[in-house]
Chain A
Amino acid sequence: MRLLLSLLILGTALLANANEWQQTPRPAWVKQHPQPEVALDTQQSSQYLLSDIQVDLSQPQRQVYNRFSYRVNDSVGVEEGSDLQISFNPGYQQLQLHTIELIRAGKRLNRLIEKDIRLIDDEADAENRIYTGSKQLTLFLRDVRPGDIIDYSYTLVGQNPIFADAFSYFFELGWGVSVARAEISVLAPASMPLQHRFVNLDGTLTSTTEGQLQRYQLSLRDTPVYRDEGQTPPWALAYPYLQMSSYTSWQDLASWAAQLFVVDSQPSAELSRWLEQLRQLPQKQAIEAAIGFAQNDIRYLGQSMMENSHRPYPPSTIYARRYGDCKDKTMLLITALQALGIKAEPVLVSTYHRHTLGDYLPAHNLFDHVITRFYFADQWYWVDPTRTHQSNRLEAITPAYFGAGLIAQAEQTAPTAMPALQADQHGLEMRQQIMAADYSASVIVQIETRYRGREADRIRYEVAQNGQQRMSDHYLDYYNKLYPGTERYRRAQFDDDREHNRFSVRETYLVPDFWHTNAEGMAEFELYADLIDAYLAPPEKVRRNQPLAMRAPITVVQRSELWLPEHVNFGNFSPTEQFGNDYFSMSAQVRYSPRKLVLEHTYRSKAEAVPAAATKAHIEALRNAREHLAYSQSISEVTNEPAYQAVSSLMEYIYSQQMQGRP
Chain B
Amino acid sequence: MIRLLFALTLLLSGCSATQHSEYVAPAPTTQNETPLTAAYFDQLANRLSGQSFDPTPLFDAPSMAQYRSEIRPVAERQPEFFKRPWDQTHADAITHALTRFDSYQWYYLYQHSWANGRYLDSMFRLERDGQTNFIRLIWSTESHALLDMHSLFSEFSVVGALNEFDSIAEQDTLSEADRLKFMQIMGKLNDEKLDQAAQDFQTLPEQLQRSALFADRLSWLDLDRSASARAMLARNAELNPEPHPHFYTFYLQQQDFAAALRCLDALPAELHDEYWTQMEYAVAHYQLNHPKQANFAINNALLREPYLQAPYLLKLMIALRNQDWEGATLTLKVLQGRFDANFSSDDLKTLENGEQLIRSSDYLSSFG
Contact = CB atoms under 8 A, between A and B. Distances in A.
Interface of A: 395, 431, 435, 437-438, 444, 500, 559, 563, 565-567, 575-576, 589, 591-596, 598, 600, 641-644, 646-647, 649-651, 653-654, 657-658, 662-663
Interface in B13-33: 20-23, 25-26, 29, 31
A605 B336 CA distance: 54
Contacts of A594: 23, 25, 45-46, 49, 105, 107
B136 to A, nearest CB: 18
Q: Which 3 A-B pairs have the closest CB atoms?
A: A643-B337, A663-B292, A643-B338
Given A594-B25, A600-B38, A658 B300 contact: yes
Contacts of B23: 567, 594-595
Contacts of B306: 437-438, 565-566, 647, 651
A647 to B, nearest CB: 5
25 contacts: A437-B306, A438-B306, A575-B29, A576-B39, A591-B42, A594-B107, A595-B107, A600-B38, A600-B39, A641-B337, A641-B338, A642-B337, A646-B333, A646-B334, A647-B334, A649-B330, A649-B333, A650-B302, A650-B327, A651-B306, A653-B327, A654-B327, A657-B296, A657-B299, A662-B296
A646 B337 CA distance: 7
B295 A657 contact: yes
A594 B43 CA distance: 11
A557 to B, nearest CB: 8
Given A641-B337, A657-B295, A593 B330 contact: no
Contacts of B108: 593
A641 B334 CA distance: 11
Contacts of A395: 116
Contacts of B333: 643, 646, 649-650
B107 A596 contact: yes
A591 B39 contact: yes
A529 to B, nearest CB: 14
Interface string B303-346: 11011000000000000000000110011011011100000000
Given A594-B25, A653-B326, A653-B327, 10 more contacts: A395-B116, A591-B42, A593-B108, A594-B45, A643-B333, A647-B306, A647-B337, A654-B327, A657-B296, A658-B299
B141 interface: no
A428 to B, nearest CB: 15
Contacts of A435: 303-304
Contacts of B116: 395, 500
A253 to B, nearest CB: 40
B303 A651 contact: yes
Contacts of A646: 330, 333-334, 336-338
Contact of A658 (B45, B296, B330): B296
A444 B303 contact: yes
B309 to A, nearest CB: 12
A284 to B, nearest CB: 14
Contacts of A565: 306-307
Specify the main secondary structure of chain A where it touches its partner.
Answer: mixed
Contact of B21 (A500, A566, A575, A589): A566
Specify the main secondary structure of chain B where it touches its partner.
Answer: helix
A124 to B, nearest CB: 43
A575 B336 CA distance: 42
A395 B45 CA distance: 34
Interface of B: 20-23, 25-26, 29, 31, 38-39, 42-43, 45-46, 49, 105, 107-108, 110, 116, 292-293, 295-296, 299-300, 302-304, 306-307, 326-327, 330-331, 333-334, 336-338
B366 to A, nearest CB: 9
Contacts of B292: 663
A570 to B, nearest CB: 10
Contacts of B45: 593-594
A431 B37 CA distance: 13
Contacts of A591: 29, 39, 42-43
A650 B330 contact: yes
B38 A593 contact: no
Contacts of A644: 337
Contact of A576 (B31, B46, B337): B31
Nearest to A508: B273
Contacts of A598: 38-39, 42
A663 B296 contact: yes
Given A589-B39, A593-B108, A594-B49, A437 B334 contact: no
Contacts of B29: 575, 591
A500 B334 CA distance: 48
Contacts of A657: 295-296, 299, 327
Nearest to A644: B337
Given A444-B303, A641-B337, A658-B300, A559 B331 contact: no
A21 B292 CA distance: 77
Given A575-B31, A650-B331, A663-B293, A593 B107 contact: yes
A641 B326 CA distance: 22
A438 B303 CA distance: 9
Contacts of A653: 326-327, 330
Contacts of B22: 567
Contacts of A649: 330, 333
A661 B105 CA distance: 32
B304 A593 contact: no
B272 to A, nearest CB: 11
B338 A567 contact: no
A435 B26 CA distance: 22
A559 B337 CA distance: 34
A294 B110 CA distance: 38
Contacts of B20: 566
Contacts of B25: 594
A576 B296 CA distance: 40
A594 B107 CA distance: 7
Contacts of A589: 39
Nearest to B322: A657
Contacts of A650: 302, 327, 330-331, 333-334
Given A566-B307, A595-B23, A642-B338, A559 B330 contact: no
A567 to B, nearest CB: 4
A557 B83 CA distance: 47
A277 to B, nearest CB: 28
Given A647-B306, A658-B299, A596 B42 contact: yes
A591 B31 CA distance: 11
A435 B45 CA distance: 20
B302 A654 contact: yes
Nearest to A658: B299
Contacts of A654: 299, 302-303, 327
A563 B331 CA distance: 22
Nearest to A595: B23
A576 B292 CA distance: 46
A384 B293 CA distance: 50
